[in-house]
Structure 1
């Protein structure tokens, strides 16, 4: 029977140390843990690569600013409903990460939780497909909105679990290239499938509902990725974990998590500003519909531009992040994001719209990669699940309000006001990042 002892490194936190049966010291266990990570790196790398390639391919089809917003607008005829759907999805993602973190931060193995949370998220995509086939009118709109909320709810917990899994088994110097290649190859598949979905599924009304068919394919791809991770990954047991803490007691630690690292505090604010800037995302395709005909082929073409640029940029972002740290990636992403929005707003030629969607895809892939990776480099390992959850929740608050506010602004003031507000928030985040956030990897190396 494994024994456990407790010590209090600081008055605010309790960490459980798990010595093995030979009574090895914590330092020896840390060395063994590091050796385990490197010894199993190839297998775990492949597992995360397959999971990311297949899983993110399917999720991109759902989260791309084309298919789901266009489908919501098609069945509702309302820009407000489009914003409401995205807001509900973000509300779900806001509510669940902290609860998810409290359920896993004391566990030595978290893969079982990953399977449950990931599986439940995928069921919601399947629900969207089934609703498209079997419902119509207002019941269809209500069903899609409900599934979007539940999708966000389970994606919130999944995000915490899978980020922790990657941090446990992929060394910091390999995370960028892993994300680069899995996102790049997944992006090739997603871009090709987006074109096929637009041209053949939607225009051809495959199986009676092209959008439902697209969501079904997304479900199949994401499920295959989850199966690959479950079958291949070997998860180590960390030398220490946090003691299990009641949910509301753990909430009291938030001020400490934020105040003990000023870099993380300002990074958190940058995240919130950037996520608020995403308020314009679901309205890109709707704005384009006022300048060019929104056929299935055009939707597929612009999705191809968005996901294709995402694919190519990931290779640049991943290797750049491994070499320099991900602060440079985040800065570059925000600059491209702002420039692409300005281009889309001011130039209405087909080539400019295509180029703007390329820039939006490249910038948002860089933002996602840098935000998800930088968060793993602040603070200590035992607080990582809650730090991830805190960032997810804080960003989720803004992400929930953003699309809803954007929908109201689009309906009353026009799309230009939404884009202008988005640019303002992105610019504020960029300035704060430039002047108040240092590269956390350099601080970590300096402390060794």
Structure 2
């Protein structure tokens, strides 16, 4: 009965979630953590470390809190109400950011910085606290063999609308005087987030018939130790995700290296950013389809090798034109090691175990997510860019090797672990 209801609503759920993702992407175009927000912050500080941390905040905020909510999510029959309440904290902060931008003439730079980073952390954690419920809901409403293309469609819609939002934001910043230009960008982002929330609320989720027998937080945390102790395949998967952060480490530094070493101009930066977004759009769909057809492990291995090749190419690039290929490789690597890795996480365990796997698979990776860019920044400041790229290339190759020899695609494994631990993590 549950499977027939899932199939019946699959087209509807795909449609409303793609529209939801499109508006989310539009919002992130208006308030990009890579371009718009760093530009806003640069008006109040010259600290490269502070500005460099901005893109890491949403990734860290997404990953870190997931384990804290997993025990309650594991006992839910219906995920959607929890998703809708918690995700407000992911979408509302952009309106607060607009208010801060409007007040910048009445506040000193330190206060603006404190408020801005507090809001960014609020937004990042808002995504993280809703993430376990949202991913559990998605894994419930989409058959396992369609998750890759589902996530790919979400990423494609978000990236396309992000390009559109970024173009409009560029015009607003150029045509409107400060502080109203940034305030209007952030206000447009908040409106787009509200529309994203509305279409997410249209998701049709069937109610589960079975409940977890885990009654207390203590029992849930005991179940996590069982997973890490008994599920060797998942344990190695988490280790490879940690290592993959090294492969992704140089992404913020490619543009800086191209500017400092090859004198890349503003026009080229804009064009290369467009190349990156288009690559991510196409790669999301193609790699999602490949993962559904031949397994996500293959995509992760290929993405790790692409990241390694990209880092080597950046370090050896004789001229600025090579960086178009570098950013194509970067786009493929980001989709593989972020989006497809998230999809593969959903395939471990059964429906009742899934929140625990999602929480572990993201929260345990969070320290590596923040340490990798800090390591990269330290290497760049104290040695040079090429050494950072070499470390990233080694990280990519080691990730691919460990995936190949130690991790099996969970989609094709019998859930023997589930059967051995039924008292702690019931079907």
Is the pair's TM-score, using the shorter chain for normalization, greater than 0.5? Answer: yes
C-alpha separation in 2, matches of 1:71 and 1:340: 30
The SS at the match of 2:211 is strand
C-alpha separation in 2, matches of 1:251 and 1:245: 11
C-alpha separation in 1, matches of 2:49 and 2:299: 33
C-alpha separation in 1, matches of 2:29 and 2:405: 32
Question: In the alignment, does 2:197 pair up with 1:226?
Answer: yes
The SS at the match of 1:138 is helix
Question: In the alignment, does 2:144 pair up with 1:175?
Answer: no
The Cα of 1:101 is off from its aligned counterpart by 1.4
* Aligned twin of 2:21: 52
Change in Cα spacing, 1:249 to 1:446, as seen in structure 2 (3 Å) is closer
Contact 2:13–2:204 (8 Å) recurs in 1: yes
* Aligned twin of 2:157: 185
TM-score (norm 2): 0.87
The SS at the match of 2:244 is helix
Any gaps of 5 or more consecutive residues in structure 2? 420-427
* Aligned twin of 1:315: 285
Question: In the alignment, does 2:8 pair up with 1:36?
Answer: no
Matches within 5 A, 1:45-444: 45-59=14-28, 65-73=34-42, 75-86=44-55, 88-135=57-104, 137-198=109-170, 200-205=171-176, 208=179, 210-230=181-201, 232-243=202-213, 245-247=215-217, 249-290=219-260, 291-292=262-263, 295=266, 297-347=267-317, 349-444=319-414
Change in Cα spacing, 1:84 to 1:346, as seen in structure 2 (3 Å) is same
Contact 1:242–1:382 (8 Å) recurs in 2: yes
The SS at the match of 1:382 is coil
TM-score (norm 1): 0.83
C-alpha separation in 2, matches of 1:217 and 1:289: 30
* Aligned twin of 1:16: none
Any gaps of 5 or more consecutive residues in structure 1? 1-31
Q: 4+ residue runs of structure 1 moved beyond 6 angstroms?
A: 445-448
The SS at the match of 1:390 is helix
Change in Cα spacing, 1:186 to 1:81, as seen in structure 2 (3 Å) is closer
C-alpha separation in 2, matches of 1:340 and 1:63: 24
C-alpha separation in 2, matches of 1:414 and 1:103: 46
The Cα of 1:364 is off from its aligned counterpart by 0.7
* Aligned twin of 1:29: none
Of the structure 1 ranges 309-318 and 48-57, higher mean CA displacement relative to structure 2 is found in 48-57
C-alpha separation in 2, matches of 1:350 and 1:115: 45
The Cα of 1:163 is off from its aligned counterpart by 0.8
The Cα of 1:89 is off from its aligned counterpart by 4.6
Please report the RMSD computed on the Cα atoms of aligned residues, expressed in angstroms. 2.8
The SS at the match of 1:107 is coil
Change in Cα spacing, 1:294 to 1:58, as seen in structure 2 (3 Å) is farther
Contact 1:49–1:182 (8 Å) recurs in 2: yes
The SS at the match of 1:258 is helix
